[in-house]
Amino acid sequence: MNDEAREPQSADGRLLPTLRLVIVLNLAYFSIELAVALAIGSVALIADSVDFLEDITVNGLILAGLHFAPVWRARLGMGLAALLVLPAAAGVIMLLHKIQAPVPPAPLPLSATGLGALIVNGTCAVLLARVRNEAGSLTRAAFLSARNDAIANVAIIAAGGATALWPTIWPDLIVGAGIALLNADSAREIFEAAREEHKDADG
């Protein structure tokens, strides 16, 4: 941190309140989704609930990173790229466990919980879209994570419908794997953006 470090803020002061609201929303729904996931044994919901925990961490790190100089914000952005891979790893672990105990999750709680998550993540994505250019790769990380989570929630709802028609573990497993891939792609995008910012700041 040096004299160049300052707290980026949008013209109308939306950045910090937006980040704090997003953290509260993610924390509230994380506990709900995790409880349902464990109750019905859903790989997709487990992966998605870890996404909520990841989003809490990402936005919390962003709040801290806003006080850093540009070069340090870029380095933190590269660190956040690695953080986005964690839900993918959790999904793989749950997928392997589910294959060993192939019991399909209850379709109605699966879809209903996915719908609730879609509402929360959709709200967060809209809020973050308005400030995603205020702190470079940091707020981009938060926006991409919320956007990907909303996409994943649509797939979770569809998996619940498919499981109701064909009671098998595969819709849940496929969606869980898809969530892992989305997070891996976001990690790549954020790392590349942060690396470019680091070059510009060093230059």
Residue spans per domain, the chain: 15-202
Rounded alpha-carbon distances, angstroms, from residue 39 to 42, 116, 120, 150: 8, 16, 21, 22
Report the C-alpha gap between 36 and 81 in whole angstroms.
28
Please give the model's pTM, rounded to 2 decimal places.
0.78
| Averaged pLDDT in 10-residue chunks for the chain of 203 residues | 46 80 95 92 87 84 77 78 72 78 90 96 93 77 85 93 93 86 75 75 66
Distance CA 48, CA 95 (A): 13
Residue pair 155/115 in contact (Cβ under 8 Å)? The answer is no
Please tell me the predicted confidence (pLDDT) of residue 4: 45
pLDDT of amino acid 135 = 67
Give pLDDT, residue 5: 44
Give CA–CA dist 133/104, Å, rounded.
42
The reported pLDDT for the residue numbered 203 is 62
Residue 46 near residue 90 (C-beta atoms within 8 A):
yes
pLDDT of residue 202: 67
